[in-house]
């Protein structure tokens, strides 16, 4: 079945007999047992709930995984994932990660005895692997610099060494990129972003290639309790129904805006993986069926960056991404504020860098808004 059909209908399993077309919100913390030692398949919502199960099975189908487990946020999903590791275990992570993931690794997981090394290309990933290494953790395209990592090439390394490959697929979603088919073992989503798609709900998901790893994570999820509420689960299910057309339109507009930004005299660099001049354009074309709706750009000076943030009207100056409303972010002060300044600068996350999540407004209105905000550069 085509992925856009799976988005609309989700998993086939139905939980009621009314013929309800939309999967109901099962607002029940607990489920009555038909007899001693018997269960309807549902006991307590922290373990499982029909609305959540529908979401999980839908996302597992979209990603081509054996299991998906839903969490109350993307960070709750990463935190649960870290529980599969033990003190002394080592993880090689890509060095341009979502700021919250970096903060979790540095401030929580490290304190719990898990060790991290950071790498920014294949050679470095290989070099950082030690006998204690258990996993490689990447995000592609990266946030906010839009670097692209060749998932299949990393998978070759992890399969050789028997390591888990974990891929944060929040930016492209399974609509454009399916890491498990490229060799990943675990896929991570902040469902808050494109899957939900409306800037109104927090959610996270882990998808596993292997049923066994899935069971291991499900045990951690029900034990640590960061589960998604059935109400929020319903909103993510509803969001996914329109994922295909949102991704298509957001990508189309992102390309128009990226090309327009390239022509502005006050814009010094445009980072969008869909521009043929992007250094990893061919890798993107090979491993993904689209380029997504996220782009970053650098302007000539800090003053111009601040003026843009304070002058946009249609576009909102706010954290987050992937929703119907276009959002502009100042990575230095927002998503990546916890990264040490020297590391931020080394990655190009400086006072001149802005990140734009392209929403569903018309391209003309977004360009007019950016135009008046940048001012005098046409
Ligand atoms: C937002 C985000 C997260 C964290 O998800 P939350 O839902 O905000 O907890 C993780 N990874 C990426 C790439 C993100 O954009």
The number of the ligand 1 atom at minimal distance from the alpha carbon of 139 is: 13
- pLDDT of 361-374, one tens digit each? 999 999 999 999 99
Q: Which residue out of 82, 100, 195 has the highest number of ligand 1 atoms within 8 Å of its CB and is therefore the one to mutate?
A: 100
**Distance between CA atoms of 62 and 225, rounded to whole angstroms?**
25
pLDDT, mean of residues 197-204? 98
**Distance between CA atoms of 336 and 149, rounded to whole angstroms?**
20
pLDDT, mean of residues 169-183? 98
- Span from the CA of 111 to the centroid of ligand 1 (angstroms): 21
57, 59, 169, 217, 306 from 65: Cα distances, Å: 9, 8, 13, 14, 43
Give the model's pLDDT for residue 377: 45
Give the model's pLDDT for residue 376: 67
Q: Retrieve residue 180's tokens.
A: 């498990």
pLDDT, mean of residues 33-46? 96
- pLDDT of 315-326, one tens digit each? 999 999 999 999
- Span from the CA of 88 to the centroid of ligand 1 (angstroms): 26
Q: Which residue out of 71, 146, 172, 192 has the highest number of ligand 1 atoms within 8 Å of its CB and is therefore the one to mutate?
A: 192
Q: Is 90 exceeded by the pLDDT of residue 226?
A: yes
Q: pTM value? A: 0.97
The residues carrying an active-site annotation are 46, 98, 168, 193
Residue 168 binned pLDDT confidence (cut-offs 50, 70, 90)? very high
Pick the CATH number of 3-241 from 3.40.50.80, 3.30.70.60, 3.40.640.10, 3.40.50.300: 3.40.640.10
The number of the ligand 1 atom at minimal distance from the alpha carbon of 322 is: 15
Beta-strand pair 90-94/133-139: parallel
Q: Ligand 1, atom 7: nearest CA belongs to which residue?
A: 74
Q: Ligand 1, atom 6: nearest CA belongs to which residue?
A: 74
Residue 348 binned pLDDT confidence (cut-offs 50, 70, 90)? confident
The number of the ligand 1 atom at minimal distance from the alpha carbon of 77 is: 9
- Domain spans in the chain, listed from the N-terminal domain onward: 3-241, 245-374
Q: Which residue out of 170, 177, 189, 236 has the highest number of ligand 1 atoms within 8 Å of its CB and is therefore the one to mutate?
A: 170
The number of the ligand 1 atom at minimal distance from the alpha carbon of 170 is: 13
**Distance between CA atoms of 198 and 100, rounded to whole angstroms?**
21
Helix runs in 12-67, H state only? 50-63
Phi/psi at 184 (nearest 5 deg)?
Answer: -75, 155
- pLDDT of 265-316, one tens digit each? 999 999 999 999 999 999 999 999 999 999 999 999 999 999 999 999 999 9
Q: Which residues line ligand 1 (CB under 6 A)?
A: 73-75, 98, 100-101, 139, 143, 168, 170, 190, 192-193, 202, 204
- pLDDT of 252-270, one tens digit each? 999 999 999 999 999 999 9
The number of the ligand 1 atom at minimal distance from the alpha carbon of 202 is: 7
Residue 378 binned pLDDT confidence (cut-offs 50, 70, 90)? very low
- pLDDT of 89-107, one tens digit each? 999 999 888 989 999 999 9
- Span from the CA of 144 to the centroid of ligand 1 (angstroms): 12
In the chain, at which residue ranges do the beta strands (DSSP E only) sit? Answer: 67-71, 90-94, 115-119, 133-139, 164-168, 186-190, 204-208, 267-271, 294-299, 316-317, 327-329, 353-357
Q: Ligand 1, atom 4: nearest CA belongs to which residue?
A: 74
- Span from the CA of 39 to the centroid of ligand 1 (angstroms): 35
**Distance between CA atoms of 348 and 345, rounded to whole angstroms?**
5
Establish whether the linkage from the previous residue to 141 is cis, with ω within 30° of 0. Answer: yes
Query: 362, 375, 337, 331: which is closest to 146 by C-alpha?
Result: 331
Q: Is 90 exceeded by the pLDDT of residue 353?
A: yes
Cβ atoms of 356 and 294 closer than 8 Å: yes
Give the model's pLDDT for residue 208: 98
**Distance between CA atoms of 271 and 264, rounded to whole angstroms?**
14
- Span from the CA of 322 to the centroid of ligand 1 (angstroms): 11
CATH number for the region 245-374 comes to 3.90.1150.10
- Span from the CA of 238 to the centroid of ligand 1 (angstroms): 19
126, 257, 325, 368, 369 from 365: Cα distances, Å: 46, 11, 12, 5, 6
């Amino acid at each position: 079945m085509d992925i856009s059909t799976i988005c609309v209908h989700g998993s086939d399993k139905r939980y009621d007999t009314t013929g309800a077309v939309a999967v109901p919100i099962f607002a029940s913390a607990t489920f009555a047992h038909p007899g001693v030692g018997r269960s309807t398949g549902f006991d307590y919502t922290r373990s499982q709930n029909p609305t959540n199960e529908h979401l999980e099975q839908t996302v597992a189908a979209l990603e081509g995984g054996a299991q998906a487990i839903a969490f109350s946020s993307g960070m709750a999903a990463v935190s649960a994932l870290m529980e599969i590791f033990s003190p002394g275990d080592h993880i090689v992570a890509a060095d341009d990660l979502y700021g919250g993931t970096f903060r979790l690794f540095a401030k929580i997981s490290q304190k719990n005895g898990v060790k991290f090394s950071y790498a920014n290309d294949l050679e470095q990933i290989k070099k950082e692997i030690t006998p204690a290494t258990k996993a490689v953790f990447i995000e592609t395209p990266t946030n906010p610099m839009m670097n692209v990592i060749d998932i299949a090439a990393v998978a070759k390394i992890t399969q050789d060494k028997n390591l888990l490959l974990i891929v944060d697929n929040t930016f492209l979603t399974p609509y454009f990129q399916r890491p498990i088919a490229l060799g990943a073992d675990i896929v991570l989503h902040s469902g808050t972003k494109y899957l939900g798609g409306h800037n109104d709900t927090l959610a996270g998901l882990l998808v596993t290639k292997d049923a066994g790893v899935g069971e291991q994570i499900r045990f951690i999820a029900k034990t640590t309790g960061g589960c998604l509420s059935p109400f929020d689960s319903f909103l993510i299910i509803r969001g996914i129904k329109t994922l295909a057309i949102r991704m298509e339109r957001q990508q189309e507009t992102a390309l128009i805006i990226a090309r327009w930004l390239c022509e502005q005299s006050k814009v010094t660099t445009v980072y969008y993986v869909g521009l043929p001049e992007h250094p990893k354009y061919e890798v993107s074309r090979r491993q993904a069926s689209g380029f997504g709706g996220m782009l970053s750009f650098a302007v000539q000076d800090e003053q111009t960056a601040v003026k843009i943030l304070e002058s946009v009207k249609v576009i909102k100056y706010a954290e987050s991404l992937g929703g119907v409303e276009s959002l502009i972010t100042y990575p230095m002060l927002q998503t990546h504020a916890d990264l040490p300044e020297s590391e931020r600068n080394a990655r190009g996350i400086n006072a001149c860098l802005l990140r734009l999540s392209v929403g569903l407004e018309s391209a003309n209105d977004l360009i007019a808004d950016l135009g008046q905000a940048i001012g005098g550069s046409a």
